[in-house]
Structure 1
């Protein structure tokens, strides 16, 4: 019987630079929820006049958040 290989190698796990882009998945989800709300409002004839202005302001804020997240996700590594 052969002895088991008990050499333990420590493998440093490198962070995945593409993992920073996972934060950007929130934007399509929010867009899908907005379209779902518009669809429900169209089917059931719900008034959306009180919702449009706050949502447009929220979308304006999200545009700047998206720009900031893109700069953060595309930033080069600090240790290079």
Structure 2
């Protein structure tokens, strides 16, 4: 019997460090969707008062998510 090969190779993903910034594209997309919703409310005159409080809470959460994603995206540059 042959001995098992127990040498593990660590395979790191060789992606570009700037590829981490691609996650930040979600914020302009969400902003555009919010603007489309506000435009539809202005054109078709429907009430958005029930939506304002949850959206403002969601935007507050997204602010902290944005800060965390920025720290995560800028992390590869920290070892320079």
Regarding TM over 0.5, the answer is: yes
**Unaligned residue ranges in structure 1 (runs of 5+):** 1-12
TM-score w.r.t. structure 2 length?
0.78
1:25 aligned residue = 25
Determine which structure has greater relative contact order: mean sequence separation of CA pairs < 8 Å that are 6+ residues apart, divided by chain length.
2
Cα separation, 1, equivalents of 2:24 and 2:65 = 10
Q: Describe how 1:7-18 pairs up with structure 2 within 5 A.
A: 14-18=14-18
**Unaligned residue ranges in structure 2 (runs of 5+):** 1-12
Aligned residue for 1:26, secondary structure, equals helix
Cα separation, 1, equivalents of 2:77 and 2:48 = 45
Tell me, yes or no, if structure 1 residue 69 matches structure 2 residue 64.
no
1:43 aligned residue = 43
Alpha-carbon offset, residue 14 of structure 1: 3.2
Please identify runs of 4+ aligned residues in structure 1 that moved more than 6 A: 77-80
1:55 aligned residue = 55
Aligned residues: 68
Alpha-carbon offset, residue 15 of structure 1: 1.7
TM-score w.r.t. structure 1 length?
0.78
Cα separation, 2, equivalents of 1:77 and 1:15 = 14
